[in-house]
Amino acid sequence: MTKSLANFTGRMLLVGCGNMAGAMLDRWLQAGLDPSAVAIVDPFAQPRAGIGHFGSTADWKAAGGAADWIMLGMKPQQLGEVAADLAPIVTDDIHLLSILAGVSLADLAQRFPDARAQVRILPNLAARIGAGVSAVASLGDSDAAAVDALLAPLGTIVALADDMTMDLVTAFTGSGPAFVFRLIESYAAAGERLGLSPDDALKLATATFGGATALLAESGEKPGALIAQVASKGGTTQAGLDVLDSDGQLAALLTNVLRAARDRGRELADIARGDA
């Protein structure tokens, strides 16, 4: 059942509302968030019924805009221009939330020093259906109960003591869905190459990945224990696993994938700080 936000009383401003912030907002609205308590500053955001849309922070302010929560949902590269307009508005009664990859709590505190709290959230796209993962770390008086209430309808919440590992988590769970979609796409393409029709290949691949992850989560068993239940000695699965496991190539490939994504987060932070 969707966790309710019907009792959430804060006024929320979203600065940048594209794929990720839009997925969070749509889930929040589904969970009962009052649209009249939300405003969006984004020159290109998709309009949503009952929500005020503004092209700039100045337009929002001129229309009498006020907020208790402000969430940064644009790209990290836009932090400089956004902060120039927004920082004077972020006073000590405002919780500043950020979903920006790379941008650290220290960077947020430097850009928005007067905020009541700086809260760094790393969500993922599955938030749209309440099956996401949100890692969260904060500075200041973050009102953890209210932050948890906001994040609960989006899926699993992982509270981190600080944001030291956030760039790795960004790669792992933030970028993660794209890596999984690519694996499924490649699995389907391999099935096609060996004779399945494109429709059957994607349908079977999606159901196989979905069923396997659901079984893993529900059974509480370790992946290795479930592999042993599928792979008969000398059978078909073992023949495939022998290829997958050869020379540790899969582990090396995935480590390189995560390292590249994590390191790009650090580069984005440099760009957001104006250091690159």
Residues near ligand NAI (CB under 6 A) are: 15-21, 41-45, 73-76, 78, 81-82, 99-101, 122-125, 174
Residue among 118 and 170 whose Cβ is closer to ligand A1CAB: 170
Residue among 18 and 130 whose Cβ is closer to ligand NAI: 18
175 counts as binding ligand A1CAB under rule CB under 6 A: yes
73 counts as binding ligand A1CAB under rule CB under 6 A: no
68 φ, ψ (degrees, to nearest 5): -100, -30
Q: Which residue is nearest to ligand NAI (CB)?
A: 18
Whether the Cβ atoms of residue 94 and residue 70 lie closer than 8 Å to each other: yes
The one-letter amino acid code at 11 reads R
Name the one range near ligand A1CAB by CB under 6 A: 55-63, 139-147, 167-175, 187-195. Answer: 167-175
Residue among 38 and 100 whose Cβ is closer to ligand NAI: 100
Residue among 31 and 41 whose Cβ is closer to ligand NAI: 41
User: Mind spelling out the 3-state secondary structure of 125-165?
Assistant: HHHHHCCEEEEEEEEECCCHHHHHHHHHHHEEEEECCCCCC
With CB under 5 to 8 Å by kind, the binding choice for 191 among ligand NAI, ligand A1CAB, none is: none
The first and second tokens of residue 162, run together, are: 């600080």
57 counts as binding ligand A1CAB under rule CB under 6 A: no
The one-letter amino acid code at 164 reads M
- Specify burial of residue 168 (Cβ count, 10 A radius: 0-12, 13-18, 19+): middle
Rounded alpha-carbon distances, angstroms, from residue 92 to 96, 101, 121, 141, 142? 10, 24, 20, 10, 11
166 counts as binding ligand A1CAB under rule CB under 6 A: no
Residue among 89 and 134 whose Cβ is closer to ligand A1CAB: 134
Nearest to 33 by CA among 68, 3, 1, 5: 5
For the chain, helix (H) and strand (E) counts, in that order, are 11, 8
Q: Which one-letter DSSP state was computed for residue 55?
A: S
Describe the chain by its helix, strand, coil percentages, rounded to 5: 55, 15, 30
In the complex, the smallest distance separating the C-beta of residue 214 from ligand NAI, rounded to whole angstroms, is 22
174 counts as binding ligand A1CAB under rule CB under 6 A: yes
With CB under 5 to 8 Å by kind, the binding choice for 31 among ligand NAI, ligand A1CAB, none is: none
Q: Which residues inside 97-126 make contact with ligand A1CAB, applying CB under 6 A?
A: 101
In the complex, the smallest distance separating the C-beta of residue 175 from ligand A1CAB, rounded to whole angstroms, is 5
Q: Catalog residues that contact ligand A1CAB under the rule CB under 6 A.
A: 101, 170, 174-175
